[in-house]
Structure 1
Amino acid sequence: MTQKSYASALGTVRRHAFIAVMTGTMLASWSAGVHAADQLNIYNWGEYINPEVLKKFEDETKIKVNLATYSSNEEMLAKIQGGATGYDIVFPSVHMQDIMAKLDLLQKTDINQYEGFKNIDPSFLRTKSDTKGEYCLPYAWGSVGIMYNRKILGKDITGWHDLLATVKEKKLKFTLLDDMREVLAVGLILNGNTINSTDPKQLQQSADTIIAMKPQVAAFTYDSRPLVQSGDVAAAHFFVGSMVDVFGNQKDLGYVIPEEGATMYQEDMCVLKSAPNKDNAVKFMQFYTRPEVAALNVSQQTNGTPNVPARALTPDRIKNSTEINPTAETMKRLQIFEDLGANLRQVDRVWTRVKTAQ
């Protein structure tokens, strides 16, 4: 598929991200001609890397790390396609990595030939475009489940049906992510369908399921963790990273991977073909294969890591958490998003129906 047609297939979500990004401030200090050989420019999700990891890399290599952040795959892609220059490393989700590969945006790094790559669990080579790890390094992963306040609910919950019954009975509210595919995935799972379905009937059925929830939905938002902590809402559709809050208040807070099933995410570390500091970018990828480095990141992030020996180096609360490190049986209930290509348009139309329904 050509770059033009592929970009079109990303739909309204990406167009909105593009408008938001292009009205923001461009990183002038990263413009052409300013880059020094001792710099590395990382573009990552907000709060998705431990600052101590960056400091350790700087201390060891004397390479100055500049960090910029984004809030969605679509925002990141829109900015890069919109002409932003200077970024070296990005962290796309698996399906976005496949999109970026088709758009010829990623640099081959041969990271799989580096000795430290032996630490990576081969099951995390999930992309269709990079099955051997010749381009990107598996970075972090986790589930998307339900963070909840057991003090408000009066109980622990097991999944979506349990949550819905409880909030209806007690006249409580919960939040859903402001994320098209994540929310529709909940509806698809509850109706026994794959999260990557593009069947019109199944998508409409998913929309009906989510719309039926809306009287109990306080908001579609990413900013829900403080609301659950304060008890303003009983629960939130959220990422396993919320375990950082659960560890801080285990008496009142919990996180569950729904018994009905859930999505999982995985981000990979990739070097852009346009990167001005490719050598430094590869050095950082090699640095991150070290178990103690990956463990340092996970200890602050409370995500899972594809780096097998790193898992044993994490604090006990993380190492022993079945929410962060699910059992093999639970893993069977997790699904990961795939690139839908042009079919993303019909998903976007269904999402618009969900958001506008009264």
Structure 2
Amino acid sequence: MKRMMSAIGALLASTVFASAEGELQLFNWGDYTSPELLEKFEAETGIKVTVSDYDSNDTALSKVEAGGGGYDLVVPSANYIPIYVEKGLIQQLDLSRLPNHENIASQWLDVPWDPGRTYTIPWQWGSVGIAVNEDTYSGDINTSAMFLDPPEELVGKINVAPEMNDVLSLALMYVGGEPCTEDTEVLKKARDVLMAAKPKWQSMDYGATPKLAANDMLASVYWNGAVFRARLQNDKVKFGYPKEGFPLWMDSVALLSDAKNIDEAYQFLNFIMEPENAGLISAFARYANGIEGSEAFMPADMEDAPEIVIPDELKSAGKFLPTCSPKALEYYTAIWTELRK
């Protein structure tokens, strides 16, 4: 429960520098935060959470770096967390204030992007793959050729989510390279494949879930949970895992260095590590999370969903993206800028 303020504390809180007790500002991906979770948190703590949305890691990073947003918590992907740490944008957590930290599953506790989980708390994790309507195409969908050398049935009907790291990583792995490479020959191959494929695409759009469900687009490079949600509305939507290689990701919650609502933020971080509450997060967005025991509180159809359970023969093709070097990022940005023209 939020703390009662003394008369002196109330007087101090009236200054322009004081945080607003009972409030919390969460900066998160769009359509990614469970309303039920927020309602439960407010009912139990009295803390009102305001969610501001972003559509890409780069957008979130630039807004946080610019300052002035008033955000307390942000939810970056794994390969961006070292950038936040290096730039001093997030603060190390006081684990003594997070008794539920012990609920983090062991596989997600000592991760390369945040050893020992001292800066972040798991939110959700998943994969990037290919959604396809099987009424239109019934061949192999476990390949990035679906958008880089698409079958005739799908030409002009393919969407590509405009997330630079995901798209370039898929293209690099398709041509035999590795994500974040500085090899200019491999980068040129990926660039050429992307530029040749683009005229065969319908769009580069983040909002694919309702359009896949309504058959307004018939294929898309997209995230597994969002495709799962489309399939629940349209059982012809299938999810493929590119055998040439596909990104895995984990989004995690971090406390911003300039956060004002510190106590409220710690209450929220501890709250989402309760298995029941982590289950609410996954039940809404349809991704797995990193909290031990949360499966018992998820919908039964998540246990063996093809969008959640990677086939054994394709597991080795999935890899977490590294944090690109400045040089690799420079190459990425040049290719991406050309692709988006």
Q: List aligned pairs for 1:136-285, cutoff 5 A.
A: 136-154=120-138, 157-161=141-145, 167-168=151-152, 171=155, 173-240=157-224, 241-250=226-235, 252-285=236-269
Q: In 2 relative to 1, CA 125–196 (structure 1 residues): closer, same or farther, beyond 3 Å?
A: farther
Q: Distance in 2 between matches of 1:328 and 1:114?
A: 35
Q: Distance in 1 between matches of 2:313 and 2:101?
A: 27
Q: Write the letter of the residue equivalent to 1:238.
A: Y
Q: In 2 relative to 1, CA 129–49 (structure 1 residues): closer, same or farther, beyond 3 Å?
A: same
Q: Distance in 2 between matches of 1:149 and 1:319?
A: 23
| Alignment of 1:332 onto 2:332 | no
Most deviating of 79-88 and 37-46: 79-88
Report the equivalent of 1:135: 119
Q: How far off its partner does 1:296 sit?
A: 1.1
Q: Is the CA contact 2:157–2:201 (under 8 Å) kept in the aligned structure 1?
A: yes
Report the equivalent of 2:282: 298
The partner residue of 2:37 within 49, 53, 57 is 53
Report the equivalent of 1:92: 76
The partner residue of 1:345 within 311, 330, 335 is 330
The partner residue of 2:46 within 44, 62, 73 is 62
Report the equivalent of 1:119: 103
Instruction: Give the SS at the match of 1:238.
Output: strand
Provide structure 1 residue ranges, at least 5 long, that are not aligned to the other structure.
1-30
Q: Write the letter of the residue equivalent to 1:302.
A: R
Instruction: Give the SS at the match of 2:335.
Output: helix
Q: Is the CA contact 1:116–1:290 (under 8 Å) kept in the aligned structure 2?
A: yes
Q: How far off its partner does 1:43 sit?
A: 1.0
The size of the alignment, in residue pairs, is 325
Q: How far off its partner does 1:111 sit?
A: 3.5
Report the equivalent of 2:25: 41
Instruction: Give the SS at the match of 1:52.
Output: helix
Q: Write the letter of the residue equivalent to 1:321.
A: A
Most deviating of 157-166 and 118-127: 157-166
Most deviating of 203-212 and 317-326: 317-326
Q: In 2 relative to 1, CA 332–170 (structure 1 residues): closer, same or farther, beyond 3 Å?
A: closer
Provide structure 2 residue ranges, at least 5 long, that are not aligned to the other structure.
1-14
Q: How far off its partner does 1:34 sit?
A: 6.8
1:108-165, Cα deviation, whole Å (9 max, x unpaired): 2133884422322233247545301112111111111111111122556332336766
Q: Write the letter of the residue equivalent to 2:34.
A: N
The two structures, once aligned, show a CA RMSD in angstroms of 2.4
Q: How far off its partner does 1:327 sit?
A: 5.0
Q: Distance in 1 between matches of 2:56 and 2:16?
A: 25
1:48-92, Cα deviation, whole Å (9 max, x unpaired): 110111111111111121211111222222222222142111101
Q: Write the letter of the residue equivalent to 2:318.
A: L
Report the equivalent of 1:319: 303
Q: Is the CA contact 1:88–1:277 (under 8 Å) kept in the aligned structure 2?
A: yes
Q: List aligned pairs for 1:1-16, cutoff 5 A.
A: none
Q: In 2 relative to 1, CA 38–226 (structure 1 residues): closer, same or farther, beyond 3 Å?
A: closer
Q: Is the CA contact 1:172–1:233 (under 8 Å) kept in the aligned structure 2?
A: no
Most deviating of 140-149 and 205-214: 205-214
Q: Distance in 1 between matches of 2:105 and 2:272?
A: 14
Normalized against structure 1, the TM-score is what? 0.83
Q: Is the CA contact 2:110–2:116 (under 8 Å) kept in the aligned structure 1?
A: no
Q: Is the CA contact 1:156–1:254 (under 8 Å) kept in the aligned structure 2?
A: no
Instruction: Give the SS at the match of 2:115.
Output: coil
| Alignment of 1:103 onto 2:87 | yes
Q: Distance in 2 between matches of 1:126 and 1:183?
A: 27
Instruction: Give the SS at the match of 2:179.
Output: coil
Q: Distance in 2 between matches of 1:162 and 1:38?
A: 48
Q: Distance in 2 between matches of 1:147 and 1:164?
A: 14
Q: In 2 relative to 1, CA 191–216 (structure 1 residues): closer, same or farther, beyond 3 Å?
A: same
Instruction: Give the SS at the match of 2:26.
Output: strand
Q: Write the letter of the residue equivalent to 2:119.
A: Y
1:225-244, Cα deviation, whole Å (9 max, x unpaired): 34433334320111112211
Q: Distance in 1 between matches of 2:112 and 2:96?
A: 16
